[in-house]
Amino acid sequence: MTALALSPLATLSRRRFQLTARTPRELLVPLLTPIMFALVIAPSLKTALHTQASYESYVAIGTIGLLIPLNTMFAGLGVIVDREGGAQRELLAAPVPRALIVLGNMLVAVAITGLQVAVLIAIAVARGIHFDATTGGVAWFLAAATLFTVGMYGAAEILANRVPKQEEYIARVPAIAILPWFVAGALFPITALPHVLRWVTKFLPLTHGLALMRYGLLQDGSGLHNIWGMSDSAAMAALSLGVLALFALLLGVVSVRVFSRAALR
C-alpha cells in the first residue's frame, strides 16, 4: 500500500475511532459477558464440576472467543448508523478508494478488540489464572486473535450492508456471535460433542481460533489435535492458522465488495 493511500486510511481510522470513543457502549457492552464468564461462571463451573485450576485457564481463553465476535458485531452497527444518519455519503463522495472506508473501520475494530482482549487477560492474571506463554506462543496467539477478528469484522460489515435496519442486524447477532461459541470448544473440548456436531465444529473458524490461542498461551495442543488428529502440534497450528488466514482474507475481500456494491446504486 502506498504512502498516498495510507494518509486517507489514517484519516478514516481516526474518524471511526473518534466516533467509537464517543459511544462508550461500543467499548463496554461487549466486555460485560466475557468478564461475567471469567469472574462468575468459570469459577462456579470449576467448583460445581470439581475441575482443576487449568479449567479456569481453559475458560479464560474461551471467553476471548466470545469477546471477539461480540465486539466486532457491535462495531458493525456503526456502519448502519453511518448509512442511516451519519456521514457515509460524504465519505463516498470523497476522492479516496472506497475499500479504504471498510479498511479504516476494520483497523479500529481490530485495535479496540485488541485492547479489550488485553483487559480480559489482565483481569484473568489478576485473579491468579496461569498462562504458560512464550514469545513464540504469544505470536501464535496474536496471529490467531488478529485473523479471527479481521474475519469476524468482515462478517459484521457484510451483514451491516445487507440488512436495512439496526433492529434486523441485532436480531442476527446471536446466531453469528454466540451460537458457534457454545460448540467451538470454548467451555469444553469438541470431543464431548456428538460425532456429527464435532465434524461440523471443525469447519468453524472459532474452533481453530480457540485451539490456536490455547496452543499459544497455554502450550495446550489438545484442541488442535481434536481438530486435525495429528501428532505434530506446530504443523497443526500452521494448518489452523491457514484456515484463519483464509477466513480473514475471504471475509475481508467480500466485505469490501459488498460495501462497494451497496454504496454504488
Partner 1 sequence: MIEVDELRKVYAGSVEAVKGIDFEVAPGEVFGLLGPNGAGKSTTIGMLTTTVRPTSGTARLAGFDVGEQPLLARSVSSVVFQDSVVDRSLSGRRNLDLHARLWKVEAAAAKERIDELVQAVGLGDLVDRPVATYSGGERRRLEIVRSIVSDPRVLFLDEPTVGLDPLIRAELLDLIAELRDRSELTILVTTHYLDEAERLCDRVAIMHAGAIVALDTPERLRAGLGRELLELRVDGDAAAALTSLRSRGIAHETAFTVGSTLTVPLNGHSTSEAIAAIHELGIAGAVSARRPTLDDVYLRLTGGRLAEAA
- Distance of alpha carbon 190 from alpha carbon 207, whole angstroms: 8
- Does 137 bind partner 1 (CB under 8 A)? Our answer is no
214 contact partners, CB below 8 Å, separation of at least 6: 58, 61, 220, 222, 223
131 contact partners, CB below 8 Å, separation of at least 6: 57, 60, 121, 124, 125, 217, 218
Per-residue contact track with partner 1, 92 to 121, x per CB under 8 A? Answer: xxxxxx------------------------
- Does 245 bind partner 1 (CB under 8 A)? Our answer is no
Q: Are 82 and 75 in contact (CB under 8 A)?
A: no
- Does 260 bind partner 1 (CB under 8 A)? Our answer is no
Largest Cα–Cα separation, the chain: 61
- Does 18 bind partner 1 (CB under 8 A)? Our answer is yes
- Given the rule CB under 8 A, which of 12-20, 40-48, 68-76, 144-152 is the region that contacts partner 1? 12-20
- Distance of alpha carbon 170 from alpha carbon 237, whole angstroms: 33
Is 18 or 44 the residue whose CB approaches partner 1 more closely? 18
- Does 265 bind partner 1 (CB under 8 A)? Our answer is yes
- Distance of alpha carbon 156 from alpha carbon 162, whole angstroms: 10
- Does 3 bind partner 1 (CB under 8 A)? Our answer is no
Least distance between partner 1 and beta carbon 152 (Å): 25
Residue type, 61: I
- Distance of alpha carbon 262 from alpha carbon 236, whole angstroms: 38
- Distance of alpha carbon 26 from alpha carbon 112, whole angstroms: 10
Query: In 10 A of CB 111, how many CB atoms?
Result: 15
- Does 196 bind partner 1 (CB under 8 A)? Our answer is no
- Distance of alpha carbon 26 from alpha carbon 30, whole angstroms: 7
Q: Are 147 and 68 in contact (CB under 8 A)?
A: no
- Does 52 bind partner 1 (CB under 8 A)? Our answer is no
Is 9 or 241 the residue whose CB approaches partner 1 more closely? 9
Sites for partner 1 among residues 65-94 (CB under 8 A): 85-94
Among 23, 33, 222, 233, binds partner 1 (CB under 8 A): 23
- Does 1 bind partner 1 (CB under 8 A)? Our answer is no
- Given the rule CB under 8 A, which of 9-17, 43-51, 148-156, 209-217 is the region that contacts partner 1? 9-17
Least distance between partner 1 and beta carbon 23 (Å): 7
Least distance between partner 1 and beta carbon 263 (Å): 7
Residues of this chain that interact with partner 1 (CB under 8 A) are 7-8, 11-12, 15, 18-19, 22-23, 85-97, 263-265
